[in-house]
Amino acid sequence: MWLQEMPRRQARMLRGAAARHPAAAADVDYPDWYFKRWHFLPEGYLSERSVAWYDRVIRRVYWAGDEGQAVRVLARWLERSGARRVLETAPGPGRLLAALRQRLPQVEFRGVELSPYFVAASRRRLGEGAVVHGDARELSKVAGVFDAVIGAHYVGHVPPGERGRAFAAMATAARPGGLVITVEHRWHRWPAAEGLRLAGRRGLGFSEIRCYRRTAGKGGSHDDAGS
């Protein structure tokens, strides 16, 4: 949408500022499409001001009052699966991770986030080391490491041409037999579930929670085990 397009000069300035941010990792690059006024935030996800506004307002709009219910469903699924290491992709300010950690203190929760400003906000909430700066579309370094990988309002909010890559990266980070769990608005078109089997789904207002199990073959079969 043209109202969200960012002038090139502003994008260059924000790229430079992000690279100098204390939470930024030296080897992290940003795709050109990331420099956008997401949800009409003045600097997209690349300023303290935008992150604060997202945390206070935009996040609430995404969840439409269903965040608490989502936490209960996710915690129940994770507990039933026996997960001990869980990764959230694009955790933003870290509220979902914090709520899940409070319910499941025995689980090790981690996050990978592209905005260094969100990384800093997450670390203030969760502590140092809980969230790392990185591109969640690139998870080969942690292939098969996690018992469950969560993407809440993440895959469906990247450009359509990037959704398959983002979803595949989540599956890569999950161990064989592990879970890949998504929360997305119902109207988003969804990429193919390669190597994943749908194990459960739950309606959640304007959104839907889907739980996939990583398999050796291709996804596509349904098993409504989650509720």
Q: Where along the chain do its domains lie?
A: 2-62, 65-226
* Global pTM value: 0.92
123, amino acid identity: R
Dihedrals φ, ψ of 167, to 5°? -70, -40
* CATH topology assigned to domain 65-226: Rossmann fold (3.40.50)
At residue 3, the pLDDT reads 66
At residue 2, the pLDDT reads 53
Where residue 83 falls (left for φ over 0; alpha for ψ -120 to 50; beta otherwise) is beta
pLDDT along the chain (227 residues), means of 10: 82 97 96 92 95 92 91 97 98 97 98 98 95 97 97 93 95 97 91 88 94 70 37
**Nearest-5° Cα angle at 37, 14 to 67:** 115
